[in-house]
């Protein structure tokens, strides 16, 4: 039986998607983080860390496309760890291609799969190479619209309950004008609710302020939406668990991500916490964006 305090974490995804940032977050949380080990060594290190005399009880691995240079595959590694009772959590870091290109250009790096072609071609090759891992991911974090601080908060929120045997649900408010979150498992649109933006005395406030929250949530359509959503989500939870999905992200969107989506996300988070049996985080992606 493993002596690890929490499941191993495999950090993978697109080059430039935030793998290094994720590694720093886990290091700050007390993880021993290994970078780009050959796949066959990942299992050996996990077994070493699981020994009773090991000084390490939390371990994470960063594995980008460069691990393909070695024999073996990350998919086989995941299966081997699962068979040994150390099923890892797969954290997949992603971003839009135009953002990845801008990040590579800013540091004047070439893509590991560029092979003399354009950076865009390198990214296309990488997306094909990591598609199966993305499909297996427990958590997908899209760093496209996140600052360094927001990225840290998103990773911490997503992995906060990893040692607990309860599903982790992240409720993330956002503004449609900034794009939908690509890492959401479920997206709901609350733009049908009356917009506090058009109330002069409420415009400068946010959905976390009582006056705005009261204005949004006291509307009968909002009350009906919250009730119906929670009923629907309750019926979905059993299916998520059956499919082995313990990390669920719900996106709640309005126009700018300041008022309606924030108030509704806070209310959904509050009601789900009252339900019990879930680990709940509430994030507001576009809270300070204009």
Q: What b-and-e string marks burial along 249-284, b requiring 16 or more CB atoms within 10 Å of the CB?
A: bbbbbbbbbbbbbbbbbbbbbeebeeeeebbbbbbb
CA 280 and chain centroid, separation: 13
> Three-state SS string across 67-114, please?
HHHCCCCHHHHHHHHHHCCCCCEEEEEECCHHHHHHHHHHHCCCCCCC
130 annotated to bind ligand? no
67 annotated to bind ligand? yes
Contacts of 162 (CB under 8 A, 6+ apart): 6, 7, 9, 89, 168
Contacts of 98 (CB under 8 A, 6+ apart): none
Give the pair of three-digit tokens for residue 90: 């797969």
CB-side exposure of 117: number of CA atoms within 13 Å? 11
Contacts of 47 (CB under 8 A, 6+ apart): 84
CB-side exposure of 273: number of CA atoms within 13 Å? 11
Query: CB of 213 within 8 A of CB of 263?
Result: yes
Nearest C-alpha neighbor of 19 from the set 121, 102, 135, 140: 140
**Binding-site annotation: residue ranges for GTP:** 64-67
**Binding-site annotation: residue ranges:** 64-67
């Amino acid at each position: 039986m493993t002596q690890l305090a929490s499941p191993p974490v495999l950090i993978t995804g697109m080059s430039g998607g935030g793998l290094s940032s994720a590694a720093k977050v886990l290091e700050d949380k007390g993880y021993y983080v290994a970078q780009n080990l050959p796949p066959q060594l990942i299992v050996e290190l996990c077994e070493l860390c699981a020994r009773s005399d090991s000084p390490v009880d939390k371990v994470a691995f960063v594995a980008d496309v460069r691990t393909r240079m070695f024999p073996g595959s990350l998919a086989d590694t995941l299966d081997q760890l699962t068979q040994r009772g150390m099923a890892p959590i797969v954290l997949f870091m992603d971003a839009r291609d135009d953002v990845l290109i801008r990040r590579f250009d800013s540091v004047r790096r070439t893509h590991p799969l560029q092979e003399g072609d354009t950076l865009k071609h390198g990214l296309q090759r990488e997306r094909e190479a990591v598609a199966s891992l993305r499909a297996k991911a427990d958590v997908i974090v899209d760093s496209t619209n996140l600052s360094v601080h927001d990225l840290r908060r998103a990773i911490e929120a997503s992995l906060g309950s990893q040692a607990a045997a309860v599903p982790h649900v992240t409720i993330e408010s956002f503004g449609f004008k900034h794009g939908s979150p690509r890492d959401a498992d479920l997206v709901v649109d609350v733009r049908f609710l009356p917009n506090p933006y058009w109330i002069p005395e409420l415009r400068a406030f946010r959905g976390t302020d009582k006056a705005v929250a009261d204005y949004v949530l006291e509307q009968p359509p909002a009350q009906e939406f919250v009730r119906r959503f929670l009923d629907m989500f309750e019926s979905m939870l059993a299916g998520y668990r059956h499919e082995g999905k313990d990390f669920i992200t719900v996106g709640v969107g309005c126009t700018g991500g300041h008022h309606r989506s924030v108030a509704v996300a806070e209310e959904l988070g509050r009601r789900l916490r009252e339900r019990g049996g879930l680990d709940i985080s509430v994030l507001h992606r576009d809270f300070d964006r204009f």
